[in-house]
Structure 1
């Protein structure tokens, strides 16, 4: 439980009383109570206010705000305030200012522009966090620590360059080892002194301002990505250690970027250092439902299935997208429950009161510029707050169970898109999303794991475009399959090692014995080109379109279950299955259309008796299941603009939000949500 003093899903969000006169504060408390808000995030961007000069600290406003929250029964997610350094620091200590990808040194402005390796930044941040922790460690309103905010900065300054060299010395030990790992004899790059190494950016190894990931030396760039992710993580861990020393029992987190798939930071590594993962969810009006679901499942996967915090979402509209449309009536509630359905144990907003100036003044809020409760947005927020209060702790700390997992790996992502070919159309996240969509459309729960995850407990592992095979990964996959598991990978897999050196002897490298094939060539199709997959397996005969890349493969024991229909490699295999131990390894040699993936995933799950959460449902109905003790909680979410009929087998079904018993077939309203509670049967699906 995130906060033992609040045995329910925490409900609230970012609150900035420091931006408002004191007479507004009491009115906010009245409105919070009307909305059912029981947690606020304070102090996110208040460094300049709390430390007006190098030797002066002033927490007076924060003392008042903390005490006011306590008097009104509101818990506090207390931020450390280190997300934006003060102007005086940038002036007196210019090493805190970062240098961008093009080699330009920043001036003071915006946020997230602090060099993560700046000695001055780390020194002042540590001291601020220490003073904050000491001051509020025993405050009765404190529920959660919130370090920094949406951390992430790629810096290319001289300090980072020196630290990069030190990092490389620790990683490789000798220049000979580094030169081998990076293949530096290519283009005469051999290094004879550590000081000869420079950071890879647009002034050195990168070649295209419009495609910044394209680099002449992938090994150097991937190592920089690792170094930078670790550097930013070190800033978070600096704060974490101070906070845990002061308050061992208070959870510490930081809110991860609203993209979810935020490329610069390896969130699987970050997740291991957060007591609870927190995420900011900002889909656009037209973001596909499955895209948001994938990010939510990813957040749950960062700490091995543990519930997470929905730290931010907008109650109405964003301010920073090209077209910031309103959330239509019912959508805020629907999307809030989508997060809960996939593992969130909080529902929180940015922001609680809409600011009057600067770039977020048109970002939605529970309390709009009108300043009162008589708005559509406030009414919807209050209704949701009332529902969450009634739900109490019914499914708090419950888990989603899955027998299938998709591998999503940050280092592999970096390597795939740093590659100089074979196709600009190859986007790692997009390929993973395609396979996720197939599980989503079949309403089958799936975990998101990285390549170092424990595969025990799963029956099916899908690893799209597993280009980089890190040490030990191939052996662990082989053990999984040998014991009876099914493994699926795709084109452009098994190509290179962790430093992006190609594994010679034939693709897919270390995966070749497991897959029972080798790939001779890789054809890159133009955007308007398509080939066909002619599938014949288990009584299934069909033709599907495919594109992007086509591997030209030869079987070495694997069974060919589909072949290409066009071009000079017509008739060559494009889908194979290889028996290995007690299990099977599949290879999909191209990027198929969604219809194939939907049918393919259904077949694989049927083979393993992996059941959908809901056997039958109209399109646009999302279904998940959380379990706790002897109970299961099936979430039904209707993303359609009209009501639909839903059928659930078996009796004993109680709908939590209304308290009514449900018949076998019932109506789910447009944009509606139902949470179906019933006793959990041993080893039985929720449906």
Structure 2
């Protein structure tokens, strides 16, 4: 299996998402010159470029990406090439409304944002596979390619009829028989016994509390359905580039994906971390996500996204005080990260995230943010030969289990005052403040290497 070390070659990767299709081409050469000045050695291309690459069904526009891949190669900047399947073009929803997700009330989630796809849709999967195939064919042998980035922040949910059919197939494989399912879900309660598979639907809005076994299995199924989308694209690029590592970025401590299962399918485990700079425990949160991701990876990991300054999606978006970006970046390295990356390189001038900072923000190269980025790039270049590929030895393990988390979120529990994620975070904070090297494990892991195991809240 290819690893992150195969791509880094003893360096720490430094860079971020680069979305040059938002800018005229005369900006590209300026971008590359500033990247080199900042010590950038890696960029992620194509994350949200589906409508640019496939402007209409079956059409392909690769010329602009050809020029970018060649430009990166000539300047010595490696490319993490993304499949753009997180954001289908408007033409897909307009021509194939069955690809659009539906919420628990049966309402359609329309295009106009991102992640507007049903993970179970055969039509969506067919288009996604076709574009992934063509990207792998065209760029699999390109010398700038360092890693594949599949989709982005898998987080969509769907309760449509196609999802229902997929859910029933998943339930057959899990339970084997209706009798076993009825026993597992306790359907004798409230007269919920199922007499045929076709009677089972996703847990949509109901009159009162829904069956907890059904809801829990649907959470498991949704994580697995998204994982199927990932592995389908991963297998395509692996077939063309078996020695190039593949990743997909997790959202930090997000309940929708069983990250333990997902990590087993990734060559490189990566995550996006956005601590609130006004949070007095922001450093501990940053450390916790690093510890959790390192544990899922079993070694070095990638910080795929962070903010160089303010984000745009909090109620009030505070800038990072001077030096905090550097502190949290180096902290991630200390917790095992072999790549420090950002969303994004150049701050957008339009769109929903135009107020989200970039490595190069609107103040330009003389601005404080870019000057700090240059210093971080220099730090990482010095540290790389000494720490890249290193291992962190944990003395304590915190048990963290997605099944317990999902079950704890349901209605009808003992106390709605308990928050699973906050309990896990509080235990990690106590260990972090005690300077105890801490990792995470799930029930069933070999725990013999740890001096102490903390079990915060198993269901």
TM-score band (shorter)? over 0.9
Which residue does 1:150 correspond to in 2?
153
Q: Is the 8 A contact 2:10 2:389 kept in 1?
A: no
Q: Is the 8 A contact 1:101 1:154 kept in 2?
A: no
Q: CA 1:424–1:347 in 2, change beyond 3 Å: closer, same or farther?
A: same
Q: CA 1:5–1:261 in 2, change beyond 3 Å: closer, same or farther?
A: closer
Partner Cα separation in structure 2 for residue 187 and residue 232 of structure 1: 32
Structure 1 position 234 matched with structure 2 position 237: no
Which residue does 1:422 correspond to in 2?
414
Moved more, 99-108 or 55-64: 99-108
Give the one of 337, 346, 371 matched to 1:344.
337
Which residue does 1:499 correspond to in 2?
none
Superposition pairs of residues 152-551 of structure 1, within 5 angstroms: 152-201=155-204, 203-204=205-206, 207=208, 215-257=209-251, 260-287=252-279, 288=281, 289-304=283-298, 306-370=299-363, 372-467=364-459
Give the alignment's TM-score, normalised by structure 2: 0.97
Partner Cα separation in structure 2 for residue 167 and residue 392 of structure 1: 45
Which residue does 1:75 correspond to in 2?
78
Q: Is the 8 A contact 1:97 1:106 kept in 2?
A: yes
Moved more, 421-430 or 451-460: 451-460
Corresponding residue SS for 1:11 = strand
Q: Is the 8 A contact 2:16 2:44 kept in 1?
A: yes
Q: CA 1:381–1:146 in 2, change beyond 3 Å: closer, same or farther?
A: same
Which residue does 1:107 correspond to in 2?
110
Q: Is the 8 A contact 2:395 2:436 kept in 1?
A: no
Partner Cα separation in structure 1 for residue 214 and residue 377 of structure 2: 50
Corresponding residue SS for 2:14 = strand
Structure 1 position 60 matched with structure 2 position 50: no
Q: Is the 8 A contact 1:2 1:251 kept in 2?
A: no
Superposition pairs of residues 477-626 of structure 1, within 5 angstroms: none
Corresponding residue SS for 1:388 = helix
Q: CA 1:55–1:30 in 2, change beyond 3 Å: closer, same or farther?
A: same
Q: Is the 8 A contact 2:47 2:151 kept in 1?
A: yes
Of structures 1 and 2, the larger Rg is shown by 1
Q: Is the 8 A contact 1:53 1:88 kept in 2?
A: yes
Give 1:343 shift.
Answer: 1.1
Give 1:458 shift.
Answer: 1.9
Which residue does 1:547 correspond to in 2?
none
Partner Cα separation in structure 1 for residue 28 and residue 356 of structure 2: 20
Give 1:4 shift.
Answer: 4.2
What is the aligned-residue RMSD (CA, Å)? 1.3
Moved over 6 A (4+): none
Partner Cα separation in structure 2 for residue 272 and residue 328 of structure 1: 37
Aligned residues: 454
Q: Which runs of 5+ in 1 are unaligned?
A: 208-214, 468-687
Q: CA 1:5–1:185 in 2, change beyond 3 Å: closer, same or farther?
A: closer
Partner Cα separation in structure 2 for residue 239 and residue 284 of structure 1: 33
In proportion to residue count, which structure has more helix? 2
Q: Which runs of 5+ in 2 are unaligned?
A: none
Partner Cα separation in structure 2 for residue 436 and residue 184 of structure 1: 38
Give the alignment's TM-score, normalised by structure 1: 0.65
Give 1:301 shift.
Answer: 1.1
Corresponding residue SS for 2:398 = strand
**Post-superposition CA distance 1:320-356 (Å, at most 9, x none):** 1111111111000001011111111011111110111
Q: Which has the higher contact order (CA 8 A, sep 6+)?
A: 2
Corresponding residue SS for 2:361 = coil
Q: Is the 8 A contact 1:252 1:276 kept in 2?
A: yes
Corresponding residue SS for 1:346 = strand
Give 1:433 shift.
Answer: 1.7
Give the one of 106, 128, 139 matched to 1:136.
139
